[in-house]
Structure 1
């Protein structure tokens, strides 16, 4: 007694391959196969490219936030002073910073002075945000101390100020030049408060990677900032850096206990939470939209297979007559459709990975063709279009494309398998 051949036997692959190589008389089937192949390739390419850019945006945004800002900020809830005004200073900042630094996972805890002033140089003005910080503190800020294209000497920080590259460009200054800082809250006199004006040497210029940071930030030695803003003996905040910023929520309670006072906590997620949530919503929406695009592309497989089944009705009848089972016929046409899906997915993955890997020269070419100005960092916050190729993103795109390709192939394959051989050969 003859044994039943196993599923996806060699003869099934041979028949499927023969059907895929349509002859000139079956040109319509060939055209539909090419349309399906190109459609799936472009859909998978668009999905992988979008996922890579999405991952790049989030990584770049989070990286610049963590590279130039505190992971956690401790601030005072405030108390009324003798004049009846709300005072939010931290008086025991050294002791509080020392206690916070003992929390496991804390890299650094340092007091901070913050204020906003007007910077002036040679008739040019710019509004800047001053961060008063110690020299050891600024040396641990990656976006500043390890800045690409930095100019000047950060070791001379105690002799002047460090400014962002956007501030330097706005004022037209370079290391060694002097700038004036003008604060409206200056010296109190019998005639009122007079503005405070003081000149400082620019000893260091950094590029943190975020336009809004580089355009507004200025670092000043902590003691000098206390004097300039009339904050002697106090600090505005305690800046905390931790080893794992992604797990910052787990550090809130230990930090509050270590602070041992009426303080509040503000994390980097709180500062950028709205933007991150907007990115997540946009990511989900874009994935759904592009998934629909992949589905539309795979539906072309159905059209091609239905045309193939119609053209091969006589062949199907003969195959069934000589003993092929419904399952074998179904697998033959399933292979025809799945082959197109697999090949289109493979080409799409290759194109998507190449796009993500060479996005900088590609975008430079697009910018050149469009005459420049395609990317405005003042609007987008970062200086270039980022892309980060992650294996989970590629696997999700591949799984989605192959899954849809296999599912939509089942219907026309079953239709071919259930074709009555008598009806197929009646008029032959």
Structure 2
């Protein structure tokens, strides 16, 4: 049929591009177009940046939880000769082999754990949670041996004790200093009670695990020394288990319980941090919704720009319609005007957001320096520093969201232009 053209033909693109180009007589249209582009750019930039920072925080948080802790803790309860319930594995060597044989398990570390008090010659003191593990197992914990703020030699742990950097800092201890470790569960007295056990150790290693909470509360002793110190000779309190897929830790639980024996129980990292992870998920969802609203508001600027464009181009629309241009062609022309604005703004916002995420650390350090420091206080947060992680899924989500909103809001003024009566448009020309 005469006058019909293929959708989004070359001349429709040409007319749309011409309308978007600035001319002095139509400066208002150009200003509104630039406002729309800048608004969408900034909103998409904010969305990508926020999602990257949230992903970085979540990854750092999970890595902190997993860094110095096992993916799962296996423990049990047993009865002694007097019928009292005690915790620990008497056949811990055998249990270690059974747990290590579970498919997907990459490391099993038996340990003895207890509470004690650290005191120094300067009368400083601090409560600590003592972990007794073999030197080999401690060396296999990446966050304890690869940090830039670690001091001493972990290989000398058999000669002394290792402390978190927070404890060492609070007590003014350095590698080579001596300290006393005090436990209320000492040798049995004639009256059936327990006396204090006090032992002196050399500080041979100071670690920074990545978690302020761990660095302020944890100490490590050799396995045999810890068993003696806590009256647990021949006993392992529990096992730290590392698996190939930490995110799927729940799938390992049944096999770990079976390998642990009749009274074995399993406590996973997701159970210990479940509330935190759920809170982070809720915050991520709410932040995405709020940022999406910001993108929507920015996209609405396209309507203002197109309404002004339609008003200024009323005469052109009337002429094009009288020349045989269909309503569909007019709609597509003005749809392209708005869509191009959204595409340019979206691409610019994604590029800026990606650059911000990539250079987040120097940018954050600069802002922290200008602000005088204190923007990130690790004493009230579970990690030492904030980071950003740019994920492809987040970029795609932000891009699609911005483009869809831009295209949707463009339809309404484009339909208004398409339905304009050419006679009315040319009446006063």
Q: TM-score, normalised by structure 2?
A: 0.96
* Matched residue, 2:257: 256
The answer on whether the counterparts of 1:305 and 1:333 sit within 8 Å (CA) in structure 2 is yes
> Secondary structure of the residue that 1:187 maps to in structure 2?
coil
Say yes or no: does 1:70 pair with 2:56.
no
Whether the aligned pair in 1 keeps the contact of 2:3 and 2:325 (CA below 8 Å) is no
Shift of 1:264: 0.8
Name the residue aligned to 2:90: 91
Q: Once the 2 structures are TM-superposed, how far is the Cα of residue 158 of structure 1 from its aligned partner?
A: 1.0
Q: How do 1:3-14 residues align onto structure 2 when only pairs under 5 Å count?
A: 4-14=4-14
Distance 1:19 1:421 in 2: 18
Partner residue of 2:104? Answer: 105
SS in 2 for 1:194: coil
User: 2:45 is matched with which residue?
Assistant: 45
- What residue is the counterpart of 1:131 in the other structure? 131
Q: How does 1:218-229 map to 2 (within 5 A)?
A: 218-229=219-230
- Given that residues 148 and 206 in structure 1 are in contact (C-alpha distance below 8 angstroms), is that contact kept between their aligned partners in structure 2? no
CA distance in 2, matches of 1:250, 1:79: 26
Give the alignment of 1:165-180 within 5 angstroms.
165-180=165-180
Give 1:425 deviation, angstroms: 0.9
How far, CA to CA, are the matches of 2:194 and 2:89 in structure 1? 24
Taking the aligned partners of 1:110 and 1:369, their CA distance within structure 2 comes to 46
1:118: which partner in 2? 117
Determine the C-alpha separation between the residues in 1 that align with 2:129 and 2:165: 14
Normalised TM-score (structure 1): 0.96
Query: Equivalents in 1 of 2:278, 2:222: separation in Å?
Result: 35
Unpaired stretches in structure 1, ≥5 consecutive residues: none
How do 1:125-204 residues align onto structure 2 when only pairs under 5 Å count? Answer: 125-190=125-190, 192-204=193-205
Offset at 1:31? 2.1
In the alignment, the residues of structure 2 paired with residue 146 and residue 427 of structure 1 have an alpha-carbon distance, to the nearest angstrom, of 79
Task: Note if 1:339 corresponds to 2:340.
Answer: yes
Q: Which runs of 5+ in 2 are unaligned?
A: none
CA distance in 1, matches of 2:172, 2:134: 26
Q: Give, in whole Å, the separation in 1 of the partners of 2:179 and 2:357.
A: 42
Residues 199-244 of structure 1, C-alpha deviation per residue, up to 9 Å, x if partnerless? 1111112211111111211111111111111111212112211122
1: CA distance, partners of 2:256 / 2:34:
61
- 1:39 and 1:126 mapped to 2: Cα distance? 54
Does 2:201 match 1:231? no
Query: Is the counterpart of residue 424 in structure 1 residue 425 in structure 2?
Result: yes
Query: Residue 412 of structure 1 corresponds to which residue in structure 2?
Result: 413
8 Å contact from structure 2 (residues 3, 326) kept in 1? no
Alpha-carbon distance between aligned partners in 2 of 1:197 and 1:262, rounded to the nearest angstrom: 33
2-side partners of 1:22 and 1:345: how far apart? 21
Residue deviations 1:121-167 (CA, integer Å, cap 9, x gap): 22222221111111121122111133333211111111111222212
Counterparts of 1:179 and 1:366 in 2: how far apart (Å)? 41
Question: Deviation above 6 Å: which 4+ runs of structure 1?
Answer: none
Is the partner of 1:174 in helix, strand or coil?
coil
Q: What is the CA RMSD across the aligned residues, in angstroms?
A: 1.6
**How far 1:367 sits from its partner (Å)?**
1.1
3-state SS in 1 of match to 2:216: helix
For 2:291 and 2:245, how far apart are their aligned partners in 1? 33
Q: Aligned to 1:94, what secondary structure does the other structure show?
A: helix
